[in-house]
């Protein structure tokens, strides 16, 4: 079995969102045309789902179920420019991605994983958590962050969609968690992973020059001069910070390219998506695009015919008689006893 190339869609009895007592396999599906525009209005008569190349009888759930979203932000020393771009993103994450009745949590990861905001439906609280992030540590324990997000989502109520949104590099730097263990855990959770990634070499050149006032904690910054005799913001320029840029760091980065691309791995096997960004507007566009995809998916399910426990079943979805349309879903599931 290759845990790095497959995904197990949750198969548990009595899933609340389907109101049935038979085991079902869940397959959120995105349909796009040749120009990558989302296609709406399809029915079960338009779609065919194959389980190990065998067509299945499918259901389509038209109800809207609340989302539990964990946002995991890399906060290592080479992520300062990215953190600066996140201040106004809280409302996008809460209202466009988590949306109505959804709740959002924020964690950061560097040398360790830290909870910054537990699940909340308050966009101001999410925005505040993002604004308060500071770069710390030199590592990026990405797998540990994924594992923590999974643990948090496992404790959430049933009948809610579960999404993990990573803002970070593609590869892990220093995690204690093992890739197969994290992959198995996310298989059972039936969460979808989305990833916004970037180049740590280019990010420092996309931010405006900083002043001493910018380096203060937000609560201590002076916005305006309250009176003519009062001290105003400290506009003293600070040296440009290119992040870790020594020759040894560059060599280490080249070596790290041999490690697995976690962004591609986890998004493909869970049916999610990886988007790269450089500037703030590109990050905001990525969040908007992911939000649109999440809320325009077809939630398909089917009752598996059974089979030997532990065997992997590949699944795919096609649009009948519409070869110009592309349907994307998760890669498959593992049969349970």
In this prediction, residue 138 carries a pLDDT of 82
48, 41, 93: which is closest to 62 by C-alpha?
Answer: 41
Q: Where are the strands (E) in 90-239, listed by range?
A: 103-109, 113-120, 161-167, 192-197
- Quick check: 52 and 40 in contact, CB under 8 A? no
Given a contact cutoff of 8 angstroms between Cβ atoms, the answer to whether 120 and 105 are in contact is yes
- Which pLDDT belongs to residue 7? 32
Domain at 67-211+241-294, CATH class: alpha beta
pLDDT for 189: 82
- Residue 289 DSSP SS3: helix
pLDDT at position 157 is 92
Cα–Cα distance measured from residue 91 to residue 97, given in angstroms and rounded to the nearest whole number: 9
Q: pTM of the predicted model, to two decimals?
A: 0.75
For residues 60 and 62, what is the distance between their CA atoms, to the nearest angstrom? Answer: 6
Beta-strand runs (E) in 129-233 = 161-167, 192-197
Distance in angstroms (rounded) separating the CA atoms of residues 37 and 326: 10
Give the number of other CB atoms < 10 A from CB of residue 19.
Answer: 10
The CA distance from 47 to 53, in Å, is: 14
**Model pLDDT for residues 279-319, shown as the tens digit of each residue:** 888 899 999 999 999 999 999 989 887 666 667 788 999 99
> Interior CA angle at 247 toward 258 and 135, to 5°?
80
Burial bucket for residue 281 (CB in 10 Å: 0-12, 13-18, 19+): exposed
Residues 181 and 5: their CA atoms lie apart, in Å, by 14
**For position 229, what pLDDT does the model report?**
55
Contact 48, 317 (CB under 8 A): yes
Residues (pLDDT < 50) of the chain are 1-22, 202-206, 240, 246-251, 253
Domain boundaries for CATH 3.40.50.410 within the chain: 67-211+241-294
- 3-state helix, strand and coil shares in percent for the chain, rounded to the nearest 5: 30, 25, 50
pLDDT of amino acid 4:
33
β-bridge mates for residue 106, sequence order = 71, 117
């Amino acid at each position: 079995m290759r845990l790095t190339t497959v995904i197990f869609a949750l198969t548990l009895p009595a899933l609340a969102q389907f109101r049935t007592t038979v085991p079902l396999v869940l397959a959120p599906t995105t349909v796009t045309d040749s120009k990558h525009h989302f296609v709406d209005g399809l029915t079960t008569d338009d779609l065919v789902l194959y389980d190990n190349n065998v067509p299945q009888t499918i259901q389509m759930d038209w109800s809207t179920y609340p989302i539990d979203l964990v946002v995991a932000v890399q906060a290592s020393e080479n992520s300062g420019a990215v953190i600066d771009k996140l201040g106004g993103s809280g409302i996008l994450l809460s209202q466009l991605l988590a949306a109505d009745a959804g709740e959002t949590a924020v964690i950061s990861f560097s040398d360790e994983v830290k909870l910054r905001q537990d699940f909340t439906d308050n966009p101001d609280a999410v925005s505040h958590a993002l604004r308060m992030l500071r770069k710390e540590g030199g590592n990026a324990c990405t797998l540990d962050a994924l594992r923590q997000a999974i643990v948090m989502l496992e404790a959430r109520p049933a009948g809610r969609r579960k999404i993990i949104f990573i803002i970070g590099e593609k590869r892990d730097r220093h995690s204690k968690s093992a890739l197969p263990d994290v992959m198995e855990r996310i298989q059972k959770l039936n969460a979808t992973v989305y990833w916004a990634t970037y180049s740590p070499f280019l990010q420092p050149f996309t931010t405006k020059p900083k002043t001493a006032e910018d380096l203060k904690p937000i609560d201590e910054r002076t916005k305006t001069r309250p009176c003519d005799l009062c001290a105003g913001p400290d506009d003293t320029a600070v040296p440009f910070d290119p992040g870790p840029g020594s020759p040894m760091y560059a060599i280490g980065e080249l070596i790290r390219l041999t490690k697995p691309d976690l962004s591609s791995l986890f998004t493909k096997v869970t049916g999610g998506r990886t988007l790269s960004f450089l500037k703030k507007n590109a990050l905001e566009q990525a969040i908007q695009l992911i939000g649109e995809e999440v809320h325009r998916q077809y939630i398909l399910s089917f009752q598996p015919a059974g089979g030997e426990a532990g065997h992997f079943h590949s699944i795919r979805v096609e649009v009948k008689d519409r070869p110009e349309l592309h349907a994307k879903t998760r890669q498959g599931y593992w049969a349970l006893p």
